[in-house]
Amino acid sequence: MILAAFVFWLVSALVIVGVLVMSETSRLRRDFAAQSEATYEIIRQRLDQNEAVLAGIDSMLHTFPGVESAGLRDYSRQMLARYPHIYMIELQPRVEESDLSRFEAWARKAIYPQFYVKDYGYGGERHWHPVSGRPTYYPITFMEPQAHEALPVLGLDVYADNKFRAAIDEAVRTGKPSISAPFDLYEGGRAYLIFKAVYAHVPDDLASRPRLASRVVSMLIHTGKFLSRNEVPSPLVSMRIYEQGFGYDQPDGIIDRVDAKPVPAWIRRFTPEFVYRKTLASQTQPFVFETRRQLGAEVIPMLPVVLALIVTFVISLLALVIYQQQIVSRRIAREAERHMYLREEQAQVARLHTMGEMASGIAHELNQPLAAILSYNQACVRMLHESNPDLVAIEGAMKSMTGQAKRAADIIVRLRAFVSKRPAQVLPLDVRKVVESALSLAEPWLRQGSVVVSRTLLMLV
């Protein structure tokens, strides 16, 4: 029985825990979707801000056609202060190889005394070296912010890097903003550049665009600053922003990533993983936003589960106690029935024994009315044979025979009721009838012992 109660408790607990886990999983899924949607909207707004700022710079460059203007720098500072993810704004004029020396001489006077067009060495340490011969250069002549320690960056030819060259060529060819492949920043984090070609005047056809592209403006986007501290997803949620055509875990295409706390492998076998994936609606920055959450032990709501286990245990214990009480009650009822049966059997035996002892008296008692009936009958026959029978005497004798017959019948009825085997019944009794029946049965012995019974008490009852 204890085993059955334990099985009942275990099955009930598993069912309730399963329902609670399913409910908690649904709640976590809704929270994950809502949080992912909110984060997606923030990233989408950041991309829109990038394009808006770039459009503003492009408009300003047409208004202030100089290499550097106070208006452009003020505007850039305002945008950098407003949008922390825009890490740097730069200008790169188009310089042909034949004009390189003349351009460097002009830049040393107008921009920076130690200015020269340079390449960056990607060896074990940072180092600069003069550019090698190339048909075209796009050196940096303006950047904001421009810290004193960053002045050596001026003159860096971004066109020397393959990933930047492809984006610049695309921007010059199409006239639309173009992004570079993502890369790691020296100070940490991931970034990409957005390039926009600035033309001397509106090109008439596609072929003339490269010739008319006098410079490009670029914005360095620090993807690690897309989200503020309050906007970062939950530590249980991982996030990837990657270029279209790449996968979730392909490093070359990842724009930004946030890793969640790892979940043990054995838990991952039993818990689902939520995935939210949506393409960011930007023609210039065609990225895919994806978040994932691998559920762990948090899918089990501990307080409701503990309460459910306690409640089911108490219910199982009460059911066991009630069942045990029912078993005991049935056992007691069976014992009572058995004892009652034994008492009835004993009473029956006692009645039969008493009848055996009373047999001679009862036979004498029955003989008396029978003998009287026989005597009255003989007297009636004799009086009927007389010439002048006494009908009144004959009628009296016949009435006496009837009385004696009733007396004998009453004795037999009482004896039959006494020795009959019937289940005991609790019924209201007339005490006077009980006393009269007892006196009737005991009448032979009472006469034999010359006992006179007073019926005053019987009349009072």
Banded pLDDT at 458 (limits 50, 70, 90) = very low
Can you give the pLDDT at residue 456?
66
Task: Say which DSSP state 139 is in.
Answer: B
Q: Are 23 and 118 within one domain?
A: yes
Q: Which of 101-110, 352-361, 385-394, 439-448 has the highest mean pLDDT?
A: 101-110
Residue 47: CB atoms within 10 Å: 22
Residue 198 pairs in a beta bridge with: 215
Q: Are 248 and 314 within one domain?
A: no
Residue 144 pairs in a beta bridge with: 89
Q: Are 61 and 18 within one domain?
A: yes
What is the separation of C-alpha 440 from the centre of its chain, rounded to a whole number of angstroms?
A: 84
Looking at 246, 273, 297, the residue that finishes a domain is: 297
Q: What are the C-alpha distances in Å from 276 to residues 26, 179, 229, 248, 251?
A: 15, 25, 21, 12, 19
Q: Are 430 and 416 within one domain?
A: no
Banded pLDDT at 126 (limits 50, 70, 90) = low
What residue type is assigned to position 50 of the chain? Answer: N
Q: What are the C-alpha distances in Å from 310 to residues 2, 16, 20, 94, 300?
A: 17, 12, 15, 77, 16
Banded pLDDT at 180 (limits 50, 70, 90) = very high
Q: Is 184 exposed, middle or buried (0-12, 13-18, 19+ CB in 10 A)?
A: exposed
Mean pLDDT of 321-328: 82
Question: Which domain range does residue 115 map to?
Answer: 2-297
**Residue 100 clears pLDDT 90, i.e. is over it:** yes
Q: Are 433 and 418 within one domain?
A: no
Q: Are 420 and 430 within one domain?
A: no
Can you give the pLDDT at residue 115?
92
CB 439 within 8 A of CB 453: yes
Q: Are 204 and 338 within one domain?
A: no
Of 369, 375, 354, give the one whose Cα is nearest residue 418. 354
DSSP H helical ranges for 64-182: 70-82, 100-110, 162-174
Can you give the pLDDT at residue 44?
93
What residue type is assigned to position 35 of the chain? Answer: Q
Q: Are 395 and 281 within one domain?
A: no
Distance CA(167)–CA(5), nearest Å, equals 73
Can you give the pLDDT at residue 35?
93
Looking at 276, 297, 318, the residue that finishes a domain is: 297
Q: What are the C-alpha distances in Å from 281 to residues 116, 180, 181, 199, 223?
A: 40, 18, 18, 27, 17
What token pair was written down for 83? 């949008």
Residue, of 339 and 127, whose pLDDT is higher: 339
What residue type is assigned to position 397 of the chain? Answer: A
Q: Is the pTM of this model over 0.75?
A: no
Our count of domains for the chain comes to: 3
Q: What are the C-alpha distances in Å from 34 to residues 336, 337, 441?
A: 69, 70, 100
Of the listed ranges 28-37, 192-201, 354-363, the least confidently predicted one is 354-363
Q: Are 371 and 436 within one domain?
A: no
